[in-house]
Structures are given as C-alpha cells and as structure tokens.
Amino acid sequence: MKTNSLITIILSLFFLVTATGSAMNVILPLNLDVDDPAVIEMAKFAIAEHNERSNGNLLELAHILSCTGYTYAFYSLELLANDGAITNKYLARLLHTKANYELQSFQLVPFLS
C-alpha cells in the first residue's frame, strides 16, 4: 500500500510540472560526457582564461574528470591541470552566454582519497 501511495505522489508531481510548464523551479544537474567536443572546448577555455588572468601560473589541461550542466547555462568542470611540474585538481565554473563562455571561478581543490 505504501508503494502505491509513493507512486501516486511521484506521478502527481510529474503531471503537475508537465501541465503547468514549471510549477516548481527544479534545477537537476546533468552529467555530461567528458569526451564530448563541447565539454573539451569548455575545459580548454577555462584553462586559457585562467592563464590569461593569472600572474605566471600557466596551466596545461591534463584530463577532464567530470562536467555537470545546470539548465544548459551553468557548467561545473573538475579538471586535472599541470604547471609543468605538478598536476593539481581544479574546479572551474562557467556561464554560457549567447555566443561564448564566461569563467565565473577557477579554484584549486584537494584530492580526496
């Protein structure tokens, strides 16, 4: 009986959101393929923009760990990048505007074991 009630609630919410267009502002993250050319372009842009803004700490993209999109306008990328000697993990956040990207933040993050 509890399972039927749960299914009814979920279906009701689904139909409510579908019928009204957006009864709730729910932003669900979408995990994107790190091998997608658009994701690779975003990662390269984030590194290039960071290099342009930094003073001497030039990075080179080593690997894209993940890319999460939110409503196709905001992106969060976890990257590995190296400065010629050390490879570190970074989190880049981008905003997609009409024709290009804007780097919102680029920060070093610790490796979790």
What is the residue type of 50?
H
> What residue ranges define each of the domains in the chain, with the CATH number in brackets?
27-109 (3.10.450.10)
Q: Decide if pLDDT at 102 tops 50.
A: yes
**How far, in Å, CA of 59 to CA of 47, rounded?**
7
Model pTM above 0.75: no
Banded pLDDT at 1 (limits 50, 70, 90)? very low
> What is the average pLDDT across 72-94?
93
Q: Decide if pLDDT at 4 tops 60.
A: no
- What pLDDT is attached to residue 105? 95
**How far, in Å, CA of 64 to CA of 53, rounded?**
21
